[in-house]
Structures are given as C-alpha cells and as structure tokens.
Amino acid sequence: MLLTWLAPCVGQTPPPWSLRNTALLAANCVTCHGPGGQPPAGSTGSIPALRGLSSDALLERMQAFKAGRVANATVMPLLMQGYDAAQMQALAEWFASPAADKP
Ligand code: HEC
C-alpha cells in the first residue's frame, strides 16, 4: 500500500536548488555586487551590477569566467571554479528574477 502511494513520486526529482538554498548561495555574491545584485547608489567601485541582465546572459558570463574566457577579469574566474552547472543556473535565475520574489 505504501508503495502505491510512493510510486507517483519516483522519478520526480526536486529542483537541485530551492529558492531558499539559492539565496544562501547568492549571499556570497551580494557582498561584492550589492544587495540583490545592485551596487548601492553612488558606489564608485568597478564591480558591475547583476541586476538588469537576463538569466541567459548571467549564465553565459559565469560560464565564460569559469572557462577562463574573460581576459581582463580579476576575481570571477577563480570564484566560479567553486560552482557547478546547477548552482550557476540557479544563481542566474535568482539574479534575473524580480527582487520582490526573493525570500
Ligand atoms: C570578491 C568580490 C566578488 C564576489 C564575491 C562576486 N563577484 Fe562577480 N564580479 C566581481 C568583479 C570584480 C567583476 C568584474 C570581472 C572581474 O574582474 O572578475 C564581477 C563580474 C561578474 C559578472 C559579469 C557582469 C557583467 O556585466 O559582465 C557576473 C555575471 C558575476 N560577477 C556574477 C557573480 C556571482 C553569481 C557571484 C556569486 C557566486 C559573484 N559574482 C561574486 C566581483 C565579485
């Protein structure tokens, strides 16, 4: 009987990164890129905003950093070595989605 109940769940793998878990991942990024990926108004640093980029563009940038394809990059190539494909995808979607959706 229990098996009958469980059967529909088999094969339904949950998304690898929930919104809450992705927020924990993103916490590392916002220390440099600003809250929600937007540097505070008036900040003059060289760290770009992540807000306003599509998830595709964000993912492409992250993959390029990880693969060493961004010639003049400083920290991002090394940093992205610590993230796998699923984590990068989750982060790209998190920063591309409206701030109001964040936990
Ligand atoms: C130590 C500070 C720091 C942290 C932490 C950091 N970044 Fe960056 N990020 C930078 C800098 C600086 C650049 C500019 C490229 C470079 O010099 O590496 C950048 C560039 C980027 C870009 C390219 C944006 C564009 O317009 O081209 C993306 C995307 C990005 N970071 C995503 C992330 C994500 C996702 C995280 C968290 C996993 C993260 N960053 C964490 C400093 C940081």
Q: What is the pLDDT of residue 61?
A: 98
- Residue 30 in tokens: 């916002």
Residue 18 or residue 79, greater confidence: 79
What was the pLDDT predicted at 41? 84
Give residue 14 CA to ligand 1 midpoint distance, Å: 28
Q: What is the reported pLDDT for 40?
A: 85
In this structure, the residue with its CA closest to atom 34 of ligand 1 is 29
Mean pLDDT of 74-84: 96
pLDDT the model gives residue 88: 96
Give the integer Cα–Cα distance in Å for 90 and 18. 8
Nearest-CA residue for atom 11 of ligand 1: 47
pLDDT digits (tens, 9 = 90+) for 19-72: 778 889 999 999 999 988 998 888 878 899 999 999 999 999 999 999 999 999
Pairwise CA distance, residues 66 & 9, whole Å: 35
Give the pLDDT confidence score for residue 76 in this predicted structure.
97
